Structure formats: C-alpha cells, structure tokens
Structure 1
Amino acid sequence: MIASTAELIAVLRRYNPWWSGGRFADLPPWRRAAFKEISDWMQAPPAGRALLLSGARQIGKTTLFLQSIDQLIQQGVPPTNILYATFDHPLLKLIGLDGLLQLWREFEPGRDGIEYLFLDEIQATKDWQVWLKHQVDFEKRRRIAVTGSATPLETEHLESGVGRWHTVRLATLSFYEYLQIRQDPIPELPAVSSLIELFDRPANWFARIGEEARPLTGLFHEYLLRGGFPQSSLVSSISMAQKLLREDIVDKVLKRDMTALFGVRRVLELEQTFLYLCLHDGGLLDIQALCGNLEVKKATANNFIDLLEATHLIYRLRPFGYGKEILRGRVKVYLADAAIAPGVMLKGKELLEDTVQLGQAVETAFFKHVFSRYYQRSMAFSYWRGKKDQEVDIIADTGKRLVPFEVKYRGKNVEITELKGLIQFCQERKVNRGYVITKDAADFGVLQLPGGEQARALKIPAPLACYWLGRSELDDLQGLEA
C-alpha cells in the first residue's frame, strides 16, 4: 500500500468533519431546485434505488451533496452514519469502494438506523457497476448517492445496473436561480405555475406585467455572458467569469476528462470540433462541412460529438418525425450553457450588438430551461422542418400533445407573417397552442393563428419565459402542460 492507514483515515476525516462535531462552514445558503429531489430520495428512495446526480463539471453537484448531508445531521441522523468521499482524490481512488467502507467502519463504528453514502466521481473506481448493484440488492439499510460522468454511468455495462438507480439530471443555473444566487434587485412579479395559464389572461395584464418585467432584460443579457455555472455567475467581472468558464470547465473537460474517462488522444482535433460547434451553436450540424473544414474523418467527428454530449457540454436534437425522417435528417446542436460560446470565442458585451449571435444565445438558453424543467416527465424534444425549409426551433412531445416553440429574439414586434413555420406545423399536426419567444418586454400577449378560434400562439419575452420556467421549477409547481 502506497499510503498508510493513518494517512488514509486523515484524508477521509477531512472530507467528513461532522464525525468529530464539525461541519462545512462555507456552504451557500441558497439551494437549487434539484435539492428537493435529493431530499425526497433520502426520505423514500423510489423502489429502493441508488441516486445518480448527473451534470457538467463545476455545476454544483458536490455542494448539493454537502447541503443534503447538513440537512440529515440537522434531522438527527447520527453523523458517523454518513459518509462522503470523492474519487477525484488519488488515495481514495487507490483503496477502492470496499476498502473505503472498511476504513470507514474500522475507525467510525456505525449506529442504529440508515447509513447514507455520498460518493463523487464513482466512475473512477474499478467495477463500480457490480458493486453498486450488490449494495442496492443486499444492503437495505444503506442509501447511496453518486455523481460522475452521467453517460458512462447510465449506459456503460447497462445490464449491471438496470433499475438500480434513480437519475437526477442537473443543468446549469436557471435564470431565476442565477438571480437568487447573485441577489440582484429584481421586480416583484406574479408566480406563474404553467405557461399555458397565460392564454387566458386579459390584454391589460400582459401590458402591465411586460412593463414591470422590463428590468429583467439587462440582467438576462448579463446571464447570457456570465453563464449558469455557480462559480462564474458570482464573479463581478464578465471577462473573469468567462476566463473561469474556459479554464475550469471547458479546458478541463476537453484536456483531462476526455483522456481519463474515454482515452482520447487526439485532443487538438477534439478541441477544433468543439470550437466548430461553438461557432454554430443552435444550428443544424453539417457533418460533411465539419469534416471538410477540420480534415477529420466522419467516424472520428461523430465519436467526438458523442463524447461531448456524454460530458454534458452539448445537447442534440433530432428532427421531428419517424423512421427515415429522423435517420436522414441532420441533428441540431445546443451548447450546455449559452455563455460557453462567447466565453470560448472571447466575446464580451459586443455579443449583445450582434443580432444573429444574440438570437442563438437566447435560443440555447431557452432550450436549456425547457429541457431541464421537463425532462423528468420523459418528454421528447426535437425540431421540425417542413416544406420550403419552414422550421420550428423546438418541439416538446408530452406523450399526449405536441408543444411547439419558436424563438424570435429581435427588437421589433413579431408579426404573424414571420411565423410561417409555426403555422404550418400547427395546421399539419392539428396543434392548437404554440409559443413564440420574443425580445421586447411589450411584445407579450396572445396571437390568433389561422385555423380556427382555438389556434393561438403566446408571445412571451425570453427573460420572462426563462424567469418563470426557473421559478416554477424551484417552487415545485406544476409545469407547462399540466
């Protein structure tokens, strides 16, 4: 053994100060929406499963674990029945999972009641799938929560863990969470539990709330530049926030995690592929153009894109439809956070003067809000292209109905003549309600669409839409089409 037992237990005690009556003094007072899901799991795990907290690097997974541990201790759980460890630490990685538990119980005897294990970066350990399966099946007094690179955790050796864990997917901060964390002064706005309820509001309500919400626009633009990663969102300087984003998140994923997790050796080509996606954020991916520009083979480029999605740097949307419609169609790629592209491209507030790139950033931010708000409901997301290249940016399929979203982030009011794609989709699919994401605070209200009295679109400013989607998630209210 490289390290002595004394050295190992010293490391473990530093990660678990509550064993000796201490606690983590620097825990933030704010809690993310996902905290409630973790809290519910601690009280009553669904079907006795472990919990997988998935999400990008530096997104706040460890903070959520430590806040959950703090809550358990306040609820009277014996401190020595709670173990936290991260396998980012080389010594803990060296002793492995069974060695960790043996060390824990050798120096901190258990008490009556449930044992709670919070394990960061579990994929760094050997045979973690089999270990976790056995723990869930045979150690009924233990509740185990893990983090790591979510796609390997969810798909690698899937047969070893089917039905053994419940996934909580963590996105970057919503606009509402960002405002709460920064404690920026914001207008008092009514709570909205469901965007669909706005279809019944009177015209004067839209005018009044739109004007009251106008101060959100400047804050929303800063959010697009700073990003939704907790550390970068709290930095006062936008340039410093973007530097942190590049160095602590993007660079470490591309240069460290890709090598450690997936054995990537052609890091330069991977970086170039990611840079290409930053330049085409929110657009249809032309894989032939990517391969031609970067001089990489198609199989290599597709593999890189798979890995970028696996490490939560991008989302992919497939075209709406079935069979050949999907197989032949190009995918649409969104970055995990709207601030990634300007951060990587070294674009500050000049982004706000570029109508096209600003619109792409808003579309990326809005998609993240919709996706993170409703993924637990097993919604499917896609985009749609019709005749004459008419398009709808985002289609959410609830299983019972289709919900189309079109992002039109520009200075002037959006007119019905600009919504040909949305109208065509609604008519072909017999959809009565759609949403148009606008820019100006006054461009807010219900628009009648061709096709009968029930065919309507809600125009809603992007800052308000993201604010309400994030707020309803945090308040645990009912969602879009409840």
Structure 2
Amino acid sequence: MAYYSSKNVLRLLKSFNTQWENGGFSPPCPGFRRSAFYIAEKWYVKNYTKPVLIEGGHAFGKTTLLKQMLAALLERGVPPGNILYLSFDYPLTRNKSAAEIIEIYRRESCSGSPLFCLLDNVEYASEFVDFCKTAGGGTHVHVLAASSAHIDGLNGTCPFIRYIPMSGITFYEYCEYHGFKPDERTPFVYPADFHTQDISVITAMHRGLEPLSRYLEDYIRSGGYFDPNGGATDELLYAKAVDKTLMRDIPLLFEVRGNTDVEKVFVYLCYLSSGTISVNSISKALRISRATVERYIDYFEKTNLITIHESMDWETLSSVKGFKKIYINNYRMRNCALNVGGADTAAFDTDIKNAVKVSFIMHFRQFFQDGTALGFFKKNAAAKRTDIVVRFPDKINALINVQYADQVQLRANDWLLTLADKTYPNYLVTKKASDYGMVYLEDGRSVCKIPAYAILYLFGYFEKYRPMLRGDENDDL
C-alpha cells in the first residue's frame, strides 16, 4: 500500500478537522483572543492579498490562534468543508509539500472556494517558500501559517508574504485577561510622544495607570505564558518548550548531529543572560570550536530562544564587531534550563532587574516592527554600564536605560543626558510610580522617565488598537 497515497493523506486531514463532521472544533478553543489574532484576521479574512505567516517560539500561542481563527471562520458562515487545518509536525505531512496536500484535498473533497488553509508548524514543511510564492493574490486559497522558527527567505521584508512576529503575552494582555484595568478616565499617550505632551496629561496618565503597578512582578513570574483556560502554568510547560527546541527543532531543521554541545552552549548562555559575551571565551570554556559556537547561537536566535544585541557605534549607528549581549527570551524558560526552582523562589528577587529589562526588550521589538534596530552601547573600554541603543528607520537614535530599582540616579554627566538629542529624548525606565516626567538640561536636551509597568502596558495597548487609531491605509506591519 502506498504510504503517501491520497487516501492516507485524507484520513490524516480528517483527524485534524473535526469541524467537517460536527461543525465545530473539538475541544473548544479558548475565548480570550490576543492582539495578534486581530492583526492576522484583518489580513487573512478581510483583506487577503498574500499568505500570512505568524512566527514565534514554542508555547507562545500560535496553535491556539489558528484554532481561534477556525472558530471565527465558522462564526462568519464559512462552510466547514472550506476550512483546512493542517500540522506539519507529523512524518506524513513533513514528507509531502503543502501544495501537494492542499491539492489532494481540493481535488478529492473540497468543492467550494475559497479554501481557508490554517497551516501549523510550517518550519517542517517541504518547499514552503515556493508554495508561498504562488499562493498569493488568488481567490481560491487563503493561507494563514504558523512557524516556531525562522524560515530562510520569509521575513518582514519578503514581498510575497505578510509577516507577523508573535512573542509571549504582553503586560497589557495579561492585565486584560485577568480583568485588571486602569482608571476609565486615563489618557493614553503614544510611547514616542511623551515629550510632546503637557505635564498635566502625563500626570493624569500615570495616576490612571498606577493601580497596575502591583501586577507587574506577577506578570514577570508568569514568563509570558498563561493557560487561556484559566489554569496555572507550571515548569513542565517551559521544560517542554526548551526540550523540543534543543532536542528536536535544531537537529531536524539544521541537521545537527548530537545534542550534547547544543545543550552546553545554551545552558552557558542562560548563566550569562543579559550580560556581554565573547564567543572566544565560550569556545575556550566549553572546548567547542568558535565556528560551532557561533553556528549554535545563530540557531538559538532562529528558533526564538534568544535575542542578540550587537555593540553599536553611537556616531555611525553601525554594528561594532566584538562583544554581544544575549538575552534568553523568557525568564521562566531560563530558570527551567538552569533548574533554579519555580516562580516563587528567592532567586526571583535577584533576577528581577534583568527579567524586567528582557520583558521591555520583548515588548519594544513586538511594538516597533518597521526596521527599528536594538543594540547596546559602551562609551569606552573602561565603562561598566551599558545601555540599550535604538536605531529608528528615520536615522534618529536614542538611548534607553532600564533601572528597576527603588532608588534611581540620574547625574548631570549621565550618558542619557549628555548624548540626548535636542529634538528627541532618551528614556529612563524606572520602578516606582513616582519616578516619571521629563528631565531637561539648559540646552534643551532631555530624558523621559517612565515606570516599567506604564510603558509595558502602553506598548501592548497601542499594539492592539494601533490599526483602528491609524486607519486601514497605514497599519501594514
């Protein structure tokens, strides 16, 4: 019997698509919908012109989003047979291209048009880039795909897909899910416009957001994950996410033989997370070649385990070869890899400063998806403090320092002030609700202080409502 026969393919598809028999998805999908759902719905259902690709790490909610989209299509009256959910996380589907499988279903079972395809785990799909090149612009097949790893040739600048990066839940989504709300009279100021607002508006905004400050550290403890059905997340979730990436994704996607060195390098990076690293030092410490270390770090970034910040030259806005800063993308995932207790250990108090900084970086990257680059800056070789450097597409650059501490110091010779632009401020992210406002020098340079809970909430708020605020013509991510 032919293993890849149409009959076997249709049998597998039937097991995925319970809506074909009962008209709904089983088990029912969670009701809480994240901001990424509404962005995907706009481009997949309302204004489809080309395949939509969602990329994010394991357990970030991509499969849940696809199932919610299936439910939304049924609610819109799309016939169940015109919806195809397909996961490539199985031997049969991995060894057949998306185009072949979809054609089998269209030929054998689907009579209507368009066919709404929800494709999961497409990092494993063969010839997926070629499929995307031919799937756009037509009315017969609409494609929404999800991937846990970066696919070469498919990114935010690719002309034949619409790319939506997806991180763990934002602080805004965490508060929305749990019913934590600011004062209803709170004015919301766009994060890049704080310096243009009257102090009375900024004060009213901070007073309205202040009740949310008590929830930030609980959010950090959650690690950016949550059970949308109401249950508590546990360490098993993070262990599975790490193991699947290191033990399965990297060997399969990048043809790595043996996982021991992969684990060694990742655990070493977990110890150094948020600090500067030297590839040469890692190579010597682990007795692994420099080329291998560099290759594994690249794999970790492509599978959404880490974020890399290059050292940047302040004057030229270009990357400087040498040291890098590497952030493990999830606080709980890092602790799980290091076997450092659970979410309520004393270690949390030690790690909270770095955890908040990582959360800020994740929010910032999720919010600015228009070519904005992040790096880090060091004034000279003897300097101890490093700061986040932001390079915007319009060539404006800014420094951001995250000081999550009860006592925040901002001296006259601080880089945030001395290197500030006269037309655009640098930013100091603080801890206490009272640490906000503008700090000015006599020549007009300035620093904007804003508590971490406030800026994180605003990032998430405007990510969700930005399309409605800007209008359809300007919300192309």
- TM class, shorter-length: 0.7 to 0.9
Matched-pair contact (CA < 8 Å) for 1:83–1:116 = yes
Shift of 1:56: 0.7
Matched-pair contact (CA < 8 Å) for 1:281–1:364 = no
Q: What is the 5 A alignment of 1:63-462? A: 63-111=64-112, 113-136=113-136, 139-154=138-153, 163-181=159-177, 183=178, 185-188=180-183, 190-199=186-195, 210=206, 213-231=209-227, 235-236=231-232, 241-245=234-238, 247-321=239-313, 326-345=319-338, 346-347=340-341, 348-349=343-344, 350-354=346-350, 357-375=351-369, 377-387=370-380, 389=383, 391-412=386-407, 414-417=408-411, 420-426=414-420, 430=422, 432-448=424-440, 450-453=441-444, 455-462=445-452
Matched-pair contact (CA < 8 Å) for 2:187–2:201 = no
Per-residue displacement from partner, 1:2-26 (whole Å, max 9, x unpaired)?
3775554233123222333421252
- Residues in 2 aligned to 1:205 and 1:135: alpha-carbon distance in whole angstroms: 48
Matched-pair contact (CA < 8 Å) for 2:187–2:205 = no
Shift of 1:253: 0.4
- Residues in 2 aligned to 1:96 and 1:433: alpha-carbon distance in whole angstroms: 50
Matched-pair contact (CA < 8 Å) for 1:386–1:425 = no
- Residues in 2 aligned to 1:294 and 1:303: alpha-carbon distance in whole angstroms: 15
Distance 1:268 1:362, change over 3 A: same
Distance 1:325 1:193, change over 3 A: closer
Matched-pair contact (CA < 8 Å) for 2:372–2:393 = yes
- Residues in 2 aligned to 1:407 and 1:233: alpha-carbon distance in whole angstroms: 33
1:467 aligns with 2:457: yes
- Residues in 2 aligned to 1:312 and 1:418: alpha-carbon distance in whole angstroms: 39
Aligned with residue 37 of structure 1, among 21, 24, 39: 39
- Residues in 2 aligned to 1:228 and 1:317: alpha-carbon distance in whole angstroms: 21
Deviating more after overlay: 165-174 vs 127-136: 127-136
Shift of 1:298: 0.9
Matched-pair contact (CA < 8 Å) for 1:225–1:343 = no
Matched-pair contact (CA < 8 Å) for 1:443–1:459 = yes
- Residues in 1 aligned to 2:419 and 2:387: alpha-carbon distance in whole angstroms: 8
Partner amino acid, structure 2, of 1:58: A
Matched-pair contact (CA < 8 Å) for 1:191–1:468 = no
Partner amino acid, structure 2, of 1:38: A
Matched-pair contact (CA < 8 Å) for 1:367–1:394 = no
Q: TM-score, normalised by structure 1?
A: 0.85
Partner amino acid, structure 1, of 2:219: Y
Per-residue displacement from partner, 1:103-158 (whole Å, max 9, x unpaired)?
313442322x4222221122323323333323337x553222222244224369x9
Matched-pair contact (CA < 8 Å) for 2:367–2:459 = yes
- Residues in 1 aligned to 2:296 and 2:287: alpha-carbon distance in whole angstroms: 14
Q: What runs of 5+ residues in structure 1 fail to find an aligned partner?
A: none
Matched-pair contact (CA < 8 Å) for 2:55–2:165 = yes
- Residues in 2 aligned to 1:234 and 1:248: alpha-carbon distance in whole angstroms: 20
- Residues in 1 aligned to 2:72 and 2:94: alpha-carbon distance in whole angstroms: 27
Shift of 1:324: 11
Shift of 1:471: 1.6
- Residues in 1 aligned to 2:68 and 2:187: alpha-carbon distance in whole angstroms: 26
In terms of fraction of residues, the more helix-rich structure is 1
Partner amino acid, structure 2, of 1:135: A
- Residues in 2 aligned to 1:395 and 1:102: alpha-carbon distance in whole angstroms: 46
Distance 1:95 1:370, change over 3 A: closer
Deviating more after overlay: 194-203 vs 279-288: 194-203
Shift of 1:186: 4.6
- Residues in 2 aligned to 1:464 and 1:205: alpha-carbon distance in whole angstroms: 14
1:11 aligns with 2:12: yes
- Residues in 2 aligned to 1:173 and 1:338: alpha-carbon distance in whole angstroms: 13
Partner amino acid, structure 2, of 1:284: T
Distance 1:265 1:49, change over 3 A: same
Q: TM-score, normalised by structure 2?
A: 0.86
Q: Which has the higher contact order (CA 8 A, sep 6+)?
A: 1
Shift of 1:371: 0.7
Matched-pair contact (CA < 8 Å) for 1:233–1:241 = no
How many residues are paired up?
A: 461
Partner SS state of residue 296, structure 1: coil
Shift of 1:262: 1.1
Partner amino acid, structure 2, of 1:41: W
